[in-house]
Amino acid sequence: MGHKKVYIYRGFERFWHWMQAILIFFLAFTGFEIHGVYSFFGFEEAVIYHNIAAYSLLILIAFAIFWHFATGEWRQYVPSAKNLMAQANYYIFGIFKNAPHPTKKTVLSKLNPLQKLAYLGLKILVIPVVVTSGLLYMFYRYPSKFGVDAINITTLKWVAIIHTAGAIALIAFVIGHIYLTTTGETILSNINAMLTGYEELEDDDENKNNTEENTELATNQPINN
C-alpha cells in the first residue's frame, strides 16, 4: 500500500499543542525557581511570571476543552485494550529490531492505545492536580477570609507538596513524550506533522478524504479553524 500526505492536525489543535508546551516549560522553569532550585528572575519576579503563565494556561485549557467537545475529537482519548500489549511490546522490543508499528495511524484514530491512556491520564489526572493545587496555592487565604470554612486551608504544606509532585510528574511525561515523538516513520516525522498538520500515512479508505487534494476532514468539518 502506498503513502499519502494526510491532514491530521488542525490549526487550533497545533496552536493549542505548542502553546501548552511553551507554557508548561515556562511554568516548570519559574516554578522550580520559586521552589529554590536556582535563581534566574529572582523569587518575586518568578512568582509574577508563574502567575501570568498560570492564567494563560487556564484560558488555553478552557478553549481546548470547548474545541475537544465541539469537534468530537475527545473520542480520540477513549481508552481501548485492543493492541495495548502489542504496542507496549513494540516500544520495549520491536522498535529496536525495526519491527513494523503495531497500530496504524488514521485521521479517525490517530492515537495508539498507549497514547490514549497516557494522554487521558494527563488530561484527567496530572493537569487537574497541578492546576487545582496551583489555584489553592494562589487563593488559600481568601476563602477563609470571607468565611468559607469548608475550603479553609490552615497550612500550605500539603498543597506545596502535591503541586511540586504534580509538576515532577508533568516533567516526566514531557521527557517520555519528547522521546516518543522521535519514534515515528522518521525521527522528525511526528514533530513535522504537529508543525504543518500533514503527515505521510498509509493510503487507505479512512485517510482518503483528508489528502492534500481533498482537504475536507473525515468528520466532515471544513478546515477553517
List contacts with ligand HEM (CB under 6 A). 24, 27-28, 31-32, 34-35, 47, 50, 54, 57-58, 130-131, 134-135, 137-138, 160, 163-164, 167, 170-171
Short-list 73, 75, 55, 54, CA closest to 64: 73
Residue located via cell numbers 479553524: 225
- Of 31 and 197, nearer to ligand HEM (C-beta) is 31
- Minimum distance from residue 61 beta carbon to ligand HEM (Å): 8
Residue 135's contacts (CB-CB under 8 Å, 6 or more residues apart) are: none
- Of 66 and 93, nearer to ligand HEM (C-beta) is 66
Residue located via cell numbers 494556561: 57
- Of 12 and 137, nearer to ligand HEM (C-beta) is 137
Residue located via cell numbers 511570571: 49
- In the structure grid, which three cell numbers stand for residue 126, read together? 496530572
Residue 34's contacts (CB-CB under 8 Å, 6 or more residues apart) are: 43, 46, 47, 50
- Distance in angstroms (rounded) separating the CA atoms of residues 39 and 33: 6
SS3 category, 4: strand
- Of 31 and 113, nearer to ligand HEM (C-beta) is 31
- Minimum distance from residue 73 beta carbon to ligand HEM (Å): 22
- Minimum distance from residue 153 beta carbon to ligand HEM (Å): 13
- Of 169 and 180, nearer to ligand HEM (C-beta) is 169
- Minimum distance from residue 145 beta carbon to ligand HEM (Å): 16
- In the structure grid, which three cell numbers stand for residue 77, read together? 482519548
- Minimum distance from residue 161 beta carbon to ligand HEM (Å): 8
